[in-house]
A and B are shown apart, each in its own frame.
Chain A
């Protein structure tokens, strides 16, 4: 189990940032992802592996309305 935006979220061995965003259907183009408070650049989404217990934030910079 990991925390995603401070909510419990399923985890499996080898889960990458890219896969997590896909699983959560986070399609919005302007998301700032951090793992344990370290920002992950977009180019590193596929290679960044999330460990069990990690704190992930995927902040959508969505202005809206």
Chain B
């Protein structure tokens, strides 16, 4: 193994301290440009109003930047924080790290979460959050030794940055022996993060059975790009002796009881429910296809005749079974699956046998059907390269699907792509594209800028119709859509469009409730759902929690409850574990208010940065309905029927173009009405700005927030 040379730039010693009721009450600030390292106290305002995790990230970022700061300015920060519940081992899904920065794709705050051990280790090493600011001259590595209380900034020039190698090397270097490797967690990215706007961060954990590192990603929004722009090569943390009570919770008994209850559910019911332990999130590929929701050919269609080739059963046969793959201790959902001994067929690592983390549903749908690829091994290999090169699989997939549609429409051609024949389904061209991104060469460099920038370039340089590009380019606020087809669910259009960070489904996933179950028929019903679910889901990010154990498993009698979609028993579990750790006495209503405070803060942050208003919540029409004749005609019966039933429009003798136009006016109008209803429910003006009254009601009438909303009233 290559020897890693490091030159020490700064060493800092600190008192180790202990966690009390979920908090260390201290955060760590590191400036990689000036080498300043300092500790900051966690104030009661931070705990009361921002809770932790993404709340702390946004709080610090607000103070670090001004309205004119750009993502690549030294003052931009990357903040990593777990949250008060983060690190407990009793309740499944409690090891997430939340990462916040100004995004190169959206130019406003992005938040993304990752599994792996870094977040909990950071807390047990003594800090509720880590702020990284500045820009190093040469590549640096930061090592936090939570066993000794030392922090070093080390120069680390040369050598590769691709995670599957670097993560392994650093785990080896900083562990005293094999046994000690489980105490090391690394954050790094890869070579493509240096040349694209879609860089991600990989968070490692050491898999003692496989004797190798595993990777979990903070994928969305280009955080890895910021990381490399700061010339940070890696963060390494060491923390020994993880055990159940390190958070010093006030009520360990309740934690134990609540955890055991969920473990039992998982054990008894997972096989008959979602089979998360067998295949993880990829369990829904076929279902999505059968309900016409699987994005296919750049979201034109929702199903494909070849989906069976990438069905969950196919992936089950590829990923290692009967392995407790939790990405933090105590997660009995264990969905962090992996395909082992996979021999790579392309690229610089061709011939190597590797472990591939995943595939998760998003990867299979995005890298697969959305790009017209139905070969599971190709999906796995693309997944591997996205991870090790440090790029977000979702953005990569969605932008490749966009490029493919542009290619098939003549907006791009071989000359413009440097010889890449980027038709849907072209596997070779797809691999070449990703390898080009890693080298910062050719068309890969342009594609890596993201859909928003490509739209500008294609209109300007190639004379493409900007309206068509807007219609088919599946991005909003600069972020590429995640992999669900929202055309037939108005509520899910809102779930994508009326979000803070852009169209990532982690705020709300309402497709079945809306489209199939018809449980939220009116605008008010949908608005209520688009209030409740985004707030509820935001809460996971404040506390260092994973969303999956909330609703990817449900108690046997859940269906008999008043609101099965909320999984009421699990909501109560979260209230109970929050109170058990922190000693507070929240109820399920205060839980929502905790999120509302941070959610509104983030909205105002966006507005402060020049975004986050109604105009920014507009969607590309591809998300709402058929853009092209081909799309309309593929579902003609459905659309004709809707025109007749909903609008009383007589379709006889009408051309497809005429019908598309009428349907489009109707659907766009529906989205506007939904937007009105949602803004009203959230306590915002019709321009999408939180009102002063709403801020007062939440206790978020902080002077800096009032200043922004007053300006935009």
Contacts and interface: CB of A to CB of B under 8 A. Distances in A.
Q: Is B truly associated with A? A: yes
Nearest to B550: A63
A19 B464 CA distance: 49
Majority secondary structure, B binding face:
loop
A63 B546 CA distance: 14
A59 B511 CA distance: 12
A30 B283 CA distance: 13
B274 A63 contact: yes
A60 B484 contact: no
A32 B559 contact: yes
A65 B509 contact: yes
A6 B565 CA distance: 18
Contact of A61 (B286, B506, B521, B554): B554
A36 interface: no
Interface string A23-65: 0011111101000000100000000000000000111111111
12 contacts: A6-B518, A6-B521, A27-B287, A27-B290, A28-B291, A30-B273, A58-B516, A59-B564, A61-B564, A64-B511, A65-B482, A65-B484
Contacts of A27: 286-287, 290
Bin the interface of chain B by size. 20 to 34
Given A6-B518, A63-B274, A65-B505, 8 more contacts: A58-B516, A61-B565, A62-B511, A62-B516, A63-B551, A64-B484, A64-B512, A65-B482
A60 B516 contact: yes
Contacts of A62: 287, 511-512, 516
Contacts of A58: 516-517
Contact of A64 (B273, B284, B558, B559): B284
A25 B302 CA distance: 14
A26 B512 CA distance: 11
B290 A7 contact: no
Q: Do most interface residues of chain A lie in helix, strand or loop, or is the interface mixed? A: loop
Interface in B549-588: 551-552, 554, 558-559, 564-565
Given A5-B517, A27-B290, A61 B552 contact: no
Given A5-B517, A27-B287, A60 B273 contact: no
B519 interface: yes
A63 B552 contact: yes
Contacts of B482: 65
A63 B566 CA distance: 9
A29 B291 CA distance: 13
B359 to A, nearest CB: 16
Interface in A1-29: 5-7, 25-29
**Residue of B272, B516, B558 with most chain A CB atoms under a 10 A cut-off:** B516
A64 B291 CA distance: 13
Nearest to A26: B516
A65 B492 CA distance: 11
Contact of B290 (A25, A30, A64): A25
A14 to B, nearest CB: 25
Nearest to A60: B512
B269 to A, nearest CB: 10
Contacts of B519: 5, 59
Contacts of B565: 61
B375 to A, nearest CB: 24
Contacts of A59: 517, 519, 559, 564
Contacts of A60: 512, 516-517
A63 B273 CA distance: 10
B339 to A, nearest CB: 23
A28 B518 contact: no
A62 B484 CA distance: 14
Contacts of A39: 559
A3 to B, nearest CB: 10
B211 to A, nearest CB: 33
Contacts of A64: 284, 484, 505, 509, 511-512
Contacts of B516: 5, 26, 58, 60, 62
Nearest to B554: A61
A9 to B, nearest CB: 11
A61 B273 CA distance: 10
Interface string B478-512: 00001010000000000000000000011001011
Which of A59, A61, A65 has the most chain B CB atoms inside 10 A of its CB?
A65
Interface in B205-232: none
A19 B362 CA distance: 32
Contacts of B291: 25, 28
A62 B514 CA distance: 11
Contacts of A25: 290-291
B555 to A, nearest CB: 11
Nearest to A63: B551
A32 B506 CA distance: 25
Contacts of B509: 63-65
B558 A65 contact: no
B518 A7 contact: yes
Interface string B518-538: 110100000000000000000
B312 to A, nearest CB: 12
Complex A-B, nearest 9 residue pairs according to Cβ-Cβ distance, in ascending order:
A65-B509, A62-B512, A63-B551, A65-B505, A5-B518, A64-B509, A32-B559, A60-B512, A27-B290
B313 to A, nearest CB: 14
A65 B290 contact: no
Interface string B263-278: 0000000001110000
A50 B173 CA distance: 68
Contacts of B284: 64
Contacts of B551: 63
A21 to B, nearest CB: 12
